[in-house]
């Protein structure tokens, strides 16, 4: 397949299989498999080459335990250049409609932009409007936190309930949880809670123990039509109105572009904060969707989050291929999936504050690139995005690490750790980091049968015991991992980490020949659920007809 430009000079189509063959990557994978990951650790200069620590980002990205060497990387870069990764990147940053199935630009980077950055959509600079909206919703957050904006009774708010789903929930709640150490150090005047599930228990749980007279409800829905969000919103509004009557309006805020619909719910226009259709939901925490973050942790922390993300944007634009962090993240995953056969990637944050990061990345990555149709409208002939999953360390060590170490399938791991303690016991934090480092090393080098036999004999085990149990104690190793270490879990560092993964997502879509920024895959089930709710008969299987009767 020849590369060709898509409609309106969009992203070119790309034949990954041909590029893999031209770059000799299958031969490189076979060669490295013969060497093995453990032996590759002795490669001269490996640390200098495979550890990236760009200035001003606050992170050390260690790729030394990936089954890649310089020759394999050269082939991967050849593939990336064949895909014109830099041209694709520049096209996205120019405001071109790279979300071609919906005819939209993809410019969430503008939400963390600064004056003079020059982000344009349809030829119009959008930065001034972004800054105006940013100042408005952050000023509002400060007014609520400081008591300048009060309840209908003139008292300070004590609680906020943020209602959204998908990108209107996962990003804000992940960042809010990650900034918990900051709030514990500095204090926080507001308790922020999040509701996403249409299961009514989720809202009941969030409202448990709250006084509506001191509670603000933030409704986050770009269209103000999202089924689950609006169902929860109507219940929350009724809860407020039951205690406050018409005064409930003062306790309501909307993040939406549908000012009219928000007004119909009693929310005045000056408390409706919107954003453009060039911002996808799962990339929207950088704008008004992040209001709950600012309410919880303050506008200063939120602005630092934006600065960290913008610093990663500049790095992505300016760093050469051999030092470019998002390019490394994308090409390493492509290598693991398409050359080594991995079907999942495990995200292990060795930081309790980052416990929602795996769930956030699940949506951001799998909703973006979990697709099987290429930019040319034809089925792709290669694997696309792996499953993303994980839990915080050290919990996972007592759960699924058994499978990671000794299972029959390959699951590359991302370790994410923080050098500075986030809690009050430096010794416990050292134990946490020791576990992260040890797990990465164990995944890499494993333990041979000979080593097991020697250790068991030295410990006094009988020959019979050794013969019976030694095979079960063998770790084959060769399990690749990337180790991401932050100096401290600051808002700036968090912003940089999130932005790095956003750019990784974009590049992977370029290489896999996908449109990363639509999400048609979420629509069918939602549409069918609406037909059930409306009583439409539709065409259902016999099993579903029986299930419907059970639910009636």
CATH number at residue 23: 3.40.50.10490
**Nearest Cα to 293, choosing from 190, 210, 364?**
190
The sign one gets for the Cα dihedral 420, 426, 427, 429 is negative
Same domain for 361 and 285, yes or no, is no
pLDDT of residue 68: 98
Same domain for 377 and 296, yes or no, is no
Same domain for 341 and 299, yes or no, is no
pLDDT of residue 146: 98
Q: What are phi and psi of 326, to 5 degrees?
A: -60, -35
pLDDT of residue 239: 98
Same domain for 402 and 434, yes or no, is yes
pLDDT of residue 533: 74
**Nearest Cα to 138, choosing from 307, 296, 363, 295?**
295
Same domain for 267 and 357, yes or no, is no
Same domain for 438 and 544, yes or no, is no
Report whether 351 contacts 392 (CB < 8 A).
yes
Within a domain: 1: no
Same domain for 336 and 280, yes or no, is no
Same domain for 324 and 284, yes or no, is no
Within a domain: 46: yes
Within a domain: 313: no
d(CA 473, CA 453): 9
Report whether 249 contacts 268 (CB < 8 A).
yes
Within a domain: 473: no
Same domain for 325 and 298, yes or no, is no
Tokens 């996403």 correspond to what residue?
A: 196
pLDDT of residue 528: 81
Within a domain: 66: yes
β-sheet bridge partners, residue 347: 414
Q: Return per-residue pLDDT of the chain as tens, 552 residues.
A: 234 343 345 899 999 999 999 999 999 999 999 999 999 999 999 999 999 999 999 999 999 999 999 999 999 999 999 999 999 999 999 999 999 999 999 999 999 999 999 999 999 999 999 999 999 999 999 999 999 999 999 999 999 999 999 999 999 999 999 999 999 999 999 999 999 999 999 999 999 999 999 999 999 999 999 999 999 999 999 999 999 999 999 999 999 999 999 999 999 999 999 999 999 999 999 999 999 999 999 999 999 999 999 999 999 999 999 999 999 999 999 999 999 999 999 999 999 999 999 999 999 999 999 999 999 999 999 999 999 999 999 999 999 999 999 999 999 999 999 999 998 899 999 999 999 999 999 999 999 999 999 999 999 999 999 999 999 999 999 999 999 999 999 999 999 999 999 999 999 999 999 999 999 988 887 778 877 777 776 678 888 888 878 887
Within a domain: 310: no
The sign one gets for the Cα dihedral 108, 112, 115, 117 is negative
d(CA 64, CA 32): 14
pLDDT of residue 424: 87
Same domain for 37 and 152, yes or no, is no
Q: Encoding tokens for residue 116?
A: 């003079």
Overall domain count for the chain: 3
Q: Pairing state of beta strands 481-486 and 59-62?
A: antiparallel
Within a domain: 254: yes
pLDDT of residue 87: 97
Catalytic residues: 367, 398, 526
Within a domain: 103: no
- Beta-carbon count within 10 A of 166 CB: 20
Report whether 288 contacts 274 (CB < 8 A).
yes
Residue after which a domain boundary falls, among 303, 338, 360: 303
Same domain for 343 and 227, yes or no, is no
Q: Encoding tokens for residue 260?
A: 């009219």
Q: Which domain holds residue 434?
A: 16-82+319-445+479-518
Report whether 63 contacts 53 (CB < 8 A).
no
Same domain for 486 and 358, yes or no, is yes
Residues in the chain: 552
**Nearest Cα to 334, choosing from 91, 510, 89, 500?**
510
């Amino acid at each position: 397949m020849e590369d060709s430009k898509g409609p309106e000079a969009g992203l070119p189509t790309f034949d990954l299989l041909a590029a893999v063959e031209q770059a000799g990557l299958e031969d490189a994978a076979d060669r490295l498999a013969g060497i093995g990951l453990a032996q590759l650790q002795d490669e001269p200069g490996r640390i200098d080459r495979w550890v990236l620590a760009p200035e001003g980002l606050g992170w050390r990205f260690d790729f030394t335990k990936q089954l890649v060497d310089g020759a394999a990387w050269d082939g991967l870069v050849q593939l990336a250049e064949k895909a014109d990764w830099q041209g694709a990147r520049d096209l996205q940053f120019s405001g071109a409609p790279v979300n071609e199935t919906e005819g939209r630009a993809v410019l969430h980077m503008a939400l963390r932009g600064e004056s003079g950055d020059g982000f344009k959509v349809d030829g119009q600079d959008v930065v001034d409007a972004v800054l105006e909206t940013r100042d408005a919703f952050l000023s509002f957050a400060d007014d609520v936190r400081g008591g300048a904006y009060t309840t209908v009774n003139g008292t300070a708010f004590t609680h906020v309930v943020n209602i959204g789903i998908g990108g209107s929930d996962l990003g804000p709640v992940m960042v809010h949880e990650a900034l918990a150490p900051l709030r514990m150090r500095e204090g926080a005047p507001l308790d922020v809670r999040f509701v996403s599930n249409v299961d009514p228990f989720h809202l009941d749980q969030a409202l448990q123990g709250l006084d509506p007279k001191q509670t603000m409800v933030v409704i986050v829905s770009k269209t103000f039509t999202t089924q689950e969000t609006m169902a929860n919103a109507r219940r929350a509004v009724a809860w407020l109105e039951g205690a406050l009557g018409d005064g409930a309006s003062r306790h309501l805020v909307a993040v939406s572009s549908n000012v009219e619909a928000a007004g119909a719910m009693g929310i005045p226009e000056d408390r409706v904060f919107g954003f453009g259709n060039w911002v996808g939901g799962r990339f929207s925490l950088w704008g008004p969707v992040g209001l709950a973050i600012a309410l919880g942790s303050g506008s200063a922390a939120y602005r630092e989050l934006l600065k960290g993300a913008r610093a990663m944007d500049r790095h992505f634009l300016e760093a050469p291929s051999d030092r470019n962090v998002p390019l490394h993240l994308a090409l390493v995953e492509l290598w693991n999936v398409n050359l080594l056969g991995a079907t999942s990637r495990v995200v292990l944050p060795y930081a309790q504050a980052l416990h929602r990061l795996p769930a956030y990345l699940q949506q951001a990555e799998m909703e973006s690139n979990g697709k099987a149709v290429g930019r040319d409208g034809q089925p792709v002939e290669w694997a696309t995005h792996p499953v993303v999953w994980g839990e915080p360390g050290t919990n996972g060590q007592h759960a699924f690490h058994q499978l990671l170490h000794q299972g029959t399938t390959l699951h590359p791991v991302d370790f994410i750790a923080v050098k500075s303690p986030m809690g009050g016991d430096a010794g416990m934090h050292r134990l946490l980091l020791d576990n992260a480092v040890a797990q990465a090393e164990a995944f890499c080098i494993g333990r041979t049968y000979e080593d097991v036999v020697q250790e068991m004999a030295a410990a006094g085990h009988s020959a019979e015991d050794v013969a019976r149990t030694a095979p079960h104690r063998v770790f084959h190793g060769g399990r690749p991992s990337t180790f991401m270490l932050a100096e401290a879990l600051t808002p700036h560092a968090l912003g940089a980490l999130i932005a790095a993964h956003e750019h990784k997502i974009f590049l992977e879509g370029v290489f896999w020949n996908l449109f990363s920024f639509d999400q048609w895959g979420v629509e069918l089930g939602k549409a069918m659920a609406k037909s059930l709710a409306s009583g439409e008969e539709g065409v259902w299987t016999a099993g579903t007809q029986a299930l419907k009767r059970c639910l009636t």
